[in-house]
Amino acid sequence: MERQEGSHLQKTVTSDSEWQYEGKMKMAILKYKLGALALFLVALALGWSLPADVAAVPITYTQQGVTSGSLGVTSYTNALTTIVFTGDTANVTNPKSGRFVNASGTATLSITGFGLATFTDTMAASVNQNETPTTGAAGILDLSCVGSPCAGVATINSAFASYNLATAIGPLTGASFTDQQTSFGTTLGLFNMQSFGNWTFTASTGAVPEPTSLLLMGFGLLAMEAMRRVRKA
C-alpha cells in the first residue's frame, strides 16, 4: 500500500514538473513571437517595406546666385540672392514630355542686405530635360504672367537631362537662364534683376511618416510593451 502511494506521489511530482516545463516553453515561444512581431511592425513603419507608403516627401528647391537689381524702391549691386521653393514630391506633375513641374508650395526670396520676402506671385519649381540636345534646365518660375511660364530663374546643367523634381540633387552650378527686366511680386515689393551670373540649383528632401507608417509603429510599440509585461509575469 505504501509502495502504491509512493508511486502515485512520484507520478504527481513528475506530472507537475512536466506541466511547469511545458508552461515555460509556451511562455518562451510567446515571447519570441511577440518580439518578432514588434520588430516586423517597426521595420514596416520605418520604411523597410511598403515603398508605396512613402509617397509624401517634403522637398525644398533652392536657386542661389549673385545678382544686381532692385527690391521694392531700393536698388542693390552684386548681392547674394537666394530663391527657395518648398513643396512636396507628391505634387510633381509631368504636363508634357521632358517637362516636370511642382506648382504647389511657397516661395521666398532672400537678398543680402534685405529682410526675408515671400513671393506673392504664383511660383513653381520646374525642370526642362530638353533645354538643349544634351542638357536640361532646372529652376523656379513665376506662373502669374500671361503665358505660363512667363519668367523664371533656371540653371543649365547636363544632370537635369534626366531629373524629374522628385528626388534630392545638387548643388549643381551652371549657366543661367533668367528673364531680365521682369518683375516678381513679393511682400517687400517688386523684385527685378538687371544682371546676374551663374546660378546654383539644389533640391533637398525630408521624409514625413505617413498615417499607415505611424499606425504600424504604434502596433510595434504595443507589441513591445506586451512582451515586456509577459517577461515580468
Cβ neighbours around 25 below 10 Å, total: 10
How far is Cα 39 from Cα 48, in angstroms, rounded to an integer? 11
Strand partners, 157: 136
Domain boundaries, the chain: 2-52+210-232, 55-205
- Sheet strands (E) in the chain: 58-71, 74-88, 92-96, 99-102, 106-111, 117-118, 123-128, 136-142, 151-157, 169-178, 183-186, 189-205
**pLDDT tens-place string over residues 60-78:** 999 999 999 999 999 999 9
**pLDDT tens-place string over residues 169-218:** 999 999 887 765 568 889 999 998 888 889 999 999 975 444 555 555 55
The string over 38-68, giving b where at least 16 C-beta atoms fall within 10 Å of a residue's C-beta and e elsewhere, is: bebbbebbeeeeeeebeeebebbbbbbbebb
